[in-house]
A and B are shown apart, each in its own frame.
Chain A
Amino acid sequence: MYQYNEIDQTLVDERVAQFRWQTEQFLAGELSEDRYRHLRLRNGIYIQTHAPMLRIAIPYGVFNSKQIRMLAHIARTYDKGYCHFTTRQNVQFNWPKLEQTPDILADLATVQMHAIQTSGNCVRNTTSDHLAGVCVDEIEDPRPYCEIIRQWTTLHPEFDYLPRKFKIAVSGAVNDRAATQLHDIGLHLVKNDAGVLGFQVLVGGGLGRTPIIGKVIRPYLEQQHLLSYLEAILRVYNLFGRRDNKYKARIKILLKETGIEKFTAMVEQEWQLIKDGRELAAERVEEMKAHFAPPAYIPEAVADKSFTQYSADDKAFATWVKYNTAAHKVAGYNAVFLSLKAPDVPPGDMTDAQLDAVADLADRYSFGEVRTTHRQNLVFADVNQADLYAVWQQLDALNLATPNIGTVTDIICCPGLDFCSLANASSIDVTKEINDALDDMDYVHDIGELKINFSGCMNGCAHQSVGHIGILGVDKKGVEWYQITLGGSSDNEAAIGERLGPAVAKDEVTKAITTILAVYVEQRLEEESFLDMVKRVGITPFKEQVYADN
């Protein structure tokens, strides 16, 4: 993974010093609430329902054992012993004290971590495929490009006060695991007819109140023009994005109101004026790629027979392998998912003890590296198959081996009303109720791939619009209600879910979900996934059953 050089370290250290001064000024009454708000947000600090929340960047979801131990230290020292992994591959602490946040950032800087631009109206953490570099369907490893983008967007002097937040995602594989069509800019690494690597550029995707699928504005961009093209898009957005209404300020609205032809022409025109002379040097790309060179895989791994034997002997292990591991491009290795979706735990949460143990396991079994996923789980990307049984046993002891990755209980869930000051409704307790109703793992496995995304308000942090089943908490005269959508997807065939009908009461949500699942199980064709069935039959059969009593 990327290692800081002197420039990176200096920048992060100087940023901590800057924020410490800003916080001191605020606490001394020298800096107004409004001004400090903009400054603290750009350092990841929100003021939440109970306490400040600190969001720390995990660039494109890649971090190492040393950094995980630091998160454990922060959880113990400054928080209540746990943290929360987000849909944008970051990590959040819900209980720090405001006056201690500069100290936390200083601690983070000692292990090459920061919270720069994890909130505020600026360019956020660049996200990517959690299987980058190891997946079997990869065209090119996106991580070197993500790091190039990370550096370019960090403290960019021109683009730190944008009309609204700005998110970039990069995918380098055939299957999009980074929800790139739902980002302000989505980049797909592609090859042209001559086999030369470049980017397909999408703009204007996004969730929240107005979910929109991104549109391709350039089918192929030579890779050396990556940064000048991003600059052109951001300049057009900075100058022409709406600033009169925060709900209409994202680039998706600019693109929609301007029209894709005109918007594209504006970007292309700007780009033509800046592209020459600022190409990404091939040496720089190569230098960056060297940071992401494959680890020292053992050639003998492929000869292992124990894995097959264990799989045959131990059904529970075989089930875990089926659901919680992914194929690896190197024979004899697998990527392993650590499920942060155990039934009795808020989705995405981890304790300090789990973090420390995971750091040890990463060192022992996966070259000291861990990834965060868009669906709020973790990944050991490079596990020797001969070690899988031992890894499984140890993860199981840590409550991190629930075999439910990609299934109906692998629910993406925001913190909801329990923590978030924006939320209209709670999400964690309802998620637990759904989990409790689905305690039969055989049934869960029979249902197969099904993504439930659950947000406590229309800001949509849990991406409910693109859940196969989406649940959205709304407030109606002080009472929590829940809207259900079906058929959304953030994969290659990205789609916004269709509303099932009127919102249901809080105590009806679990019944509605189990009814939807029952309709699927009853009416599916052989091998037909839930999403495929919704595409085939529409929402009517589900609607009829869910609202049958009304």
Chain B
Amino acid sequence: MNEVVKTREGLTYDPTQDCKLVGAARALGGIKDAVTIVHARPGCHCGVLLLRALGSNQNDIRIVGSGFRAQDMVYGAEGRLAAAIRLSYNNFKPSLIAVLNCSAPAIMGDDVEGVVLSMKEEIPAEIFSLSTGGYEGPAWIGYEETLTELTRFMHNHDKKERDSVNIIGFKMDEIKAYSDLLEIERMLNSQEITVNAVLTNSSFDELKNAPRASLNIVFGGDGLECAKIMQEKFDMPYVVTPYPFGLNNSIEFLECVTKSLNKEINQEFITAEKNRIKERIERIFLFLQGIYDMSVAVIGDGARAFDLAKFLSDELCLNVKVLAITSRNLISRDKNENNGDYFETLLLEPDRFEMDEEIKSKGVEMIFGSSMEKKLAYELGAPLVRISYPVIDEVSISDAAYAGFRGTPHLIEKIVNSVINNYTEV
């Protein structure tokens, strides 16, 4: 069991997580033929657009603002929203248009539902709206609600496709998302399992047919509510797996999935992958001995940070002094209670000021986090491995994953290089 669990102390909150709007926008961003309309003052639209544009999907921004202006605070912006829906359809011909109703129009009482209903006659695409006022909750709630909303459009399939799975909780705007997904699919294919739909990295039509699969894989617990509804509505079982960082998580991931599908695991594949990893780490074993027991902090959301910390602690034998879960999900607390022996202090949805103070007091030598930890890393003189959302100062366009068997050497390479590249004096 870990030493300390801490939550936020004060009333003011320098947040390490975003609001409901961003959670919803992230979920929708992975639907390849959907347009997201941010019905809000310009700052919210600009913020969501920036989050996307500063990542590695600059050719795929389907985020439209409704053009909400100051005068609309008095007269309402329903006309603008209607225009945004129409223009979105005319320009992108999407299968789905999702309207995210943010703080200003939500408080003012814009009849967003009414606009959506009236536009349905004219626009040959599915349209729905979600209430995403910033005051309504954090990003993970928005993410869960959006995936849940998507289940409304799904078709039941009585005959399930054998050994076909959906992946739930996958976010296409994470660093290395594209390459991680390629590796995860490769791993599943090695067990003769195919991927039916990814929530979310699929077309709307593929999502509608998600119930065709025989199992839902829930990464780290994100999207659990959606999986539960799909179980109830479509009689689809689900399994919560770790995010496959490192060797053990990758094996556990495959074991969970194969077991749920009543399949024998392909041990030959795992042995081959193990050998491959062994051969790779042998090439740098002196460095791995050198960084053994290095004190680190891991900062990230509940679906990935627990699993990353476990890999760093169990396999690389780094000393995880602080694990900060910036954004939890429905199983984060269970994860702590059941498995919390691979970190020293756990911070749950901490205030940034308090988190920074805690990390500074622990003699941390390396940080695993997002771009928002750049200043902290600089102040500590510690390398920062950008692995948590949002990463806005690093791109990833190669096929080199962080996840899975193939991702393990790459992640190790990144970690070691971050240490030995870091010496700034010449």
Tell me, yes or no, whether A binds B.
no
* Residues of chain A at the chain B interface (Cβ within 8 Å): none
